[in-house]
């Protein structure tokens, strides 16, 4: 049953925009929106490293495979891909295949080097025996190289040109496409 | 005046909370995830590492301690030569003994552990932090001063590695922001206070709402319906005690 209320509805008051609230709100919210907008479309793995565009920190480390020393200076004249990795890092296992394949494909033009971060020699040897070895795996004794390169986790890969300058850096496991892109950039080919 | 009194606690709370939230130290904590976003992918890997390694124990290769300072390895010789090209020759005097350890801890407090959540290198037990602490110790023993050591780490990691952002460029917002917000709050309070003073007796103004015949008429109708033709309010229970 519908009973009509004898009381009319309350008169609607005009709700105006409080300019002060609007201005303060915009001042607070706009910078956040601008920051969000700036971040959209960025590849979270393509990190801006302070080393990009600068001379790559030198290293002279011992290879796990043959015990020989490998220095960055000895590789000068050829672009270098320096990959920081560890046996305890799961994505490194996945990336290892990509890099090994990359070393086979680009090996004549680019030198691939792995720097093992915070690890143990027997574990590295077991890892390489199981997953294969296509390029030197160097032990970073005391993490000096990792510190000089500003490594914050593994895997991280630095692409260094023939003159020893860092061209780009990639955080996380490289996919074949990403590796190809970075190597192409390193070699200056489209 | 009532509006002012209601507004004051909010202003005080804002004045206290905003500087705390926007303080440089807090800002770096908030900024860290943004700077560290790409690292997030690799951070769980570090977390999933064996605990003995995470604590810097086990048979993990650990070099760079003060014990082997007399016989520098090739890695350390190269490292030292490169540090000089980045931050120049040592500007201080070489430290040793207890002074070296104290300064190592002090400088370690100024550096962020890159694999931790807001911890300094001095506070973190992770192997990365231990390596960084060893690097600090090495550099202090070589005679590098605090400013040079911070500059060396910043050259590799960026400003993210500094526990306190530098007071320059956009960072100035972090340093000046709290003051600006506090000042803005005071200005708002002052303006409100002035408005109230100008409008005469603020208490009276607040107590008597502005006349609105349309609204009054509606209220009368609603009261009549609820409480009777005279539209009187029912007696307040507290008042009824006094009436009897």
Taking residues B132-138, report their average pLDDT: 95
Query: Could you report the per-residue pLDDT of B76-119, keeping only the tens digit for each?
Result: 777 788 999 999 999 999 999 999 999 999 999 999 999 888 89
B153–A145 C-beta distance less than 8 A: no
Q: Which residues are CB-contacts of B93 (< 8 A; sequence separation ≥ 6)?
A: B143
Q: How far is CA B168 from CA B118, B159, B164, in A?
A: 22, 11, 12
pLDDT for position B199: 76
How many angstroms separate the CA of residue A47 from the nearest CA in chain B?
A: 7
Give the nearest partner residue to A142 out of B39, B134, B221, using CB atoms: B134
B53 touches chain A (CB under 8 A): yes
Query: Could you report the per-residue pLDDT of A7-23, keeping only the tens digit for each?
Result: 556 666 566 778 888 88
Best mean pLDDT range from B73-77, B142-146, B200-204: B142-146
What does B86-136 look like in DSSP terms, one character per residue?
HH-S--S----HHHHHHHHHHHHHTBB-TTSSS-BTTT--SHHHHHHHHHH
Q: Which of A141-145, A172-176, B204-208 has the lowest mean pLDDT?
A: B204-208
Mutate which: A6, A72, A120, A153, vs B, most B CBs within 10 A: A153
Angle at B96 between CA B91 and CA B102, to 5 degrees: 90
Say how far residue B71 (Cα) sits from the centre of its chain: 42
pLDDT of residue A185 exceeding 60, the answer is yes
Is A177 in a helix, a strand, or coil?
helix
Question: Which chain B residues contact residue A50 at CB under 8 A?
Answer: 154-158
Query: Could you report the per-residue pLDDT of B3-61, keeping only the tens digit for each?
Result: 545 555 555 545 444 444 444 444 444 333 332 333 333 333 333 333 233 333 333 33
Structure tokens at A102: 């990359």
pLDDT of residue B124 exceeding 90, the answer is yes
Structure tokens at A101: 């394949």
Percent of chain A at pLDDT > 90 equals 69
pLDDT of residue B176 exceeding 50, the answer is yes
Percent of chain A at pLDDT > 70 equals 88
Question: Which chain A residues contact residue B161 at CB under 8 A?
Answer: 150
Do the strands A80-85 and A69-71 form a parallel or antiparallel pair, or are they unpaired?
unpaired
Query: Could you report the per-residue pLDDT of A25-52, keeping only the tens digit for each?
Result: 898 889 888 888 877 766 666 667 899 9
Do the strands A80-85 and A111-116 form a parallel or antiparallel pair, or are they unpaired?
parallel
How many angstroms separate the CA of residue A105 from the nearest CA in chain B?
A: 27
């Amino acid at each position: 049953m519908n009973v009509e209320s004898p009381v009319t509805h309350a008169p609607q008051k005009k709700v105006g925009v409080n300019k002060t609230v609007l201005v303060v709100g915009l001042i607070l919210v706009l910078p956040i929106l601008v920051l969000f907008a700036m971040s959209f479309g960025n590849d979270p793995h393509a990190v801006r490293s302070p080393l990009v565009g600068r001379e790559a920190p030198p290293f002279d480390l011992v290879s796990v495979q043959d015990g020989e020393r490998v220095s960055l200076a000895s590789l000068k004249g050829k672009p270098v891909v320096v990959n920081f990795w560890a046996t305890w890092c799961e994505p490194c296992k996945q990336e290892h295949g990509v890099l090994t394949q990359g070393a086979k494909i680009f090996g004549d033009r680019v030198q691939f080097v792995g720097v093992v971060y915070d690890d143990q020699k027997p574990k590295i040897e077991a890892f390489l025996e199981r997953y294969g070895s296509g390029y030197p795996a160097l032990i970073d004794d005391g993490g000096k190289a990792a510190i000089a390169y500003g490594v914050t986790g593994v895997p991280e890969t630095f692409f260094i040109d023939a003159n020893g300058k860092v061209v780009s850096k990639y955080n996380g496991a490289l996919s074949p496409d990403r590796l190809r892109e970075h190597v192409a950039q390193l070699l200056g080919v489209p | 005046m009532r509006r002012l009194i209601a507004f004051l606690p909010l202003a005080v709370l804002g004045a206290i909370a905003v500087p705390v939230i926007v303080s440089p130290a807090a800002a770096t904590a908030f900024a860290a995830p943004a700077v560290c976003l790409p690292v997030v992918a690799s951070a769980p890997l570090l977390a999933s590492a064996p605990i003995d390694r995470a604590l810097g124990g086990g048979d993990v290769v650990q070099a760079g301690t003060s014990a082997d300072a007399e016989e520098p390895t090739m890695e350390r010789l190269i490292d030292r030569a490169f540090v000089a090209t980045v931050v120049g020759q040592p500007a201080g005097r070489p430290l040793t003994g207890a002074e070296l350890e104290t300064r190592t801890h002090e400088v370690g407090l100024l550096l962020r552990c890159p694999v931790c959540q807001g911890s300094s290198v001095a506070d973190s037990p992770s192997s990365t932090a231990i390596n960084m602490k060893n690097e600090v110790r090495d550099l202090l023993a070589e005679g590098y001063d605090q400013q040079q050591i911070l500059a060396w780490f910043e050259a590799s990691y960026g400003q993210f590695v500094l526990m306190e952002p530098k007071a320059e460029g956009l960072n100035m917002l972090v340093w000046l922001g709290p003051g600006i917000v506090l000042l803005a709050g005071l200005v708002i309070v002052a303006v409100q206070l002035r408005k109230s003073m100008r409008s005469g007796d603020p208490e009276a103004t607040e107590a008597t709402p502005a006349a609105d015949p349309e609204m009054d008429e509606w209220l009368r109708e609603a009261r009549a319906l609820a409480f009777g033709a005279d539209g009187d309010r029912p007696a307040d229970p507290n008042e009824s005690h006094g009436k009897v």
